Amino acid sequence: MSNEIKTMDKSPIVKKKNTDEAVESGLAKLTRERIKNTINQVLQNETGPRFKAYVETCMHCGLCAEACLYFLSNDRDPSYSPAGKVKQTIWEMLDKKGEVSIDFLRRAVHIAHLECNVCKRCSMYCPFGIDIAYLMLMVRRICHKLEITPLYIQDTVNSHSATMNQMWVKEDEWIDTLQWQEEDAREEFENLRIPLDKVGADIMYSVIAPEPKFQAGLIYQMATIMHAAGVNWTMPSTPGWDNSNMAMFTGDNEISGRIARAFYETAARLKVKRVVMGECGHAFRSTYDVGNRWIGWAMPPFEVVHALEFYHELLTSGRIKIAQKYKKTVTLHDPCNVSRGRGLHDMAREITNMLCESFIEMTPNREHNYCCGAGGGVINCGPPYKGERMVNNRVKAEQLKATGAEVLIAPCHNCHSGLEDIIHHYNLNMEVKFLGDIIFETMEKKIYQSGD
């Protein structure tokens, strides 16, 4: 196969199961009693008939294997197959009635946090529709309760807990960043505003904490898009502005619920008609699908619109016009949480075709696209695991390479970071862009000339 990429091309990576200090120090403190009680408490009291049906009905047919990026990237090693991961975690916990060893738990943390993106692709390859991602999240829940969650992702949860945002952004820094972006943008666009706390605005725009932390330019871009389209919008100045939710991925459901509640309450306080959020997948999953459930809303109490859908609306209604189409060849990565998670894949294609001259489809695509390998909190487990993540993403690299495109559009932050890593590691010579980047580049915008 011409598109096959061998990991040998790069400096050799020793494929060992990494660990980190948080996991190790947590494991060192555990007693047999606590392990047993915690596992049984979660499996008996926090699950229900759904869990039981998933475990009892699985016929061990192995068809889910074909779905999994990890299984395929590791030369079909069965221990990476979705059901194989359940066997190494949940089945054994049930078999031994919670009396598992420290080594077992070290392996279980690793499987649930680093060998599964909870992307739910496997549910589409199981004839019974068994939700294996849910089972892996249950393992993470147990790890959380045993306090053996990997260090870096736990730090983001600690930040959520203390500041209601993922990156320890202080309140004044947040406001200052928005005003700094507004000020910069006003040098190019006349009367551009980033309105803070505007009660009764049509739209509350919400981002994830990495944007003010190190990608403030994205806020700038969105402000120019809002400005060009003449949208009545606002951004909150108070905690609740960050829509990301790493606690959702560590099984810290209590914090996860607090984050979602703060988010909706902010929208309620501002009395906006709906919430538009930046190009992030997991944040969308939290506010559209998961966080709301924990705090008792079947569906979100506000209309939550992903940037992709919002752009589609602006472009099709003509509120934003494209001056000149993007010239480079582009391909599109469907993020799990907005395609498999919200069915926005066809809209993404329409936008891409409106913006770009030459669009090359990658295969598989839409609901069946491979995960970027970073999502579900995997990349958030940080540097100790990057090497193995690259090995686990080989098939994704092959899929990208086969397109031959110059630019890779990925409307999701997590995907972005993960795909950047893949591209560098496998020397793919592609540029990763958000849809917003391309809209900003191609749209008609009236740049302010001094003296106008």
Binding site for other proteins (CB under 8 A): 48-50, 52-54, 56-63, 65-67, 71, 76, 78-79, 81, 83-84, 87, 123-131, 289, 293, 298-299, 339-343, 345, 364, 367-368
Minimum CB distance to other proteins smaller for 129 or for 404 = 129
* Residue 299: φ, ψ to 5°: -125, 165
Question: Minimum distance between the CB of residue 71 and other proteins, rounded to whole angstroms?
Answer: 7
Minimum CB distance to other proteins smaller for 149 or for 337 = 337
Minimum CB distance to other proteins smaller for 124 or for 268 = 124
Minimum CB distance to other proteins smaller for 120 or for 227 = 120
Contact by Cβ (8 Å): 114, 35: no
Strand partners, 305: 276
Minimum CB distance to other proteins smaller for 130 or for 409 = 130
Question: Minimum distance between the CB of residue 74 and other proteins, rounded to whole angstroms?
Answer: 11
The torsion region of residue 159 among left (phi > 0), alpha (psi -120 to 50) and beta comes to alpha
Sign of CA dihedral 218, 397, 127, 53: negative
Place of tokens 């990237």: 73
Minimum CB distance to other proteins smaller for 121 or for 227 = 121
Minimum CB distance to other proteins smaller for 54 or for 189 = 54
Minimum CB distance to other proteins smaller for 29 or for 52 = 52
Question: Minimum distance between the CB of residue 364 and other proteins, rounded to whole angstroms?
Answer: 8
C-alpha distances (whole Å) from 407 to each of 127, 352, 359 are 36, 12, 10
Question: Minimum distance between the CB of residue 85 and other proteins, rounded to whole angstroms?
Answer: 11
Helices (H) and strands (E) in the chain, counts: 22, 8
Question: Minimum distance between the CB of residue 313 and other proteins, rounded to whole angstroms?
Answer: 16
Minimum CB distance to other proteins smaller for 90 or for 192 = 90
Element (H, E) at 310: helix 307-316
Question: Minimum distance between the CB of residue 242 and other proteins, rounded to whole angstroms?
Answer: 23
Length of the chain: 452
Element (H, E) at 85: helix 82-86
Strand partners, 360: 331
How many CA atoms lie within 13 Å of 259's alpha carbon, on the beta-carbon side?
34
- Nearest-10 Cα torsion for 249, 253, 256, 262: 170
151-163 and 21-28 helices, crossing angle to 10°: 90
Q: Strands 356-360, 326-332: parallel, antiparallel or unpaired by DSSP?
A: parallel
Q: CA-to-CA distance for 74 and 96, rounded, in angstroms?
A: 29
Number of neighbours of residue 6 by Cβ within 10 angstroms: 8
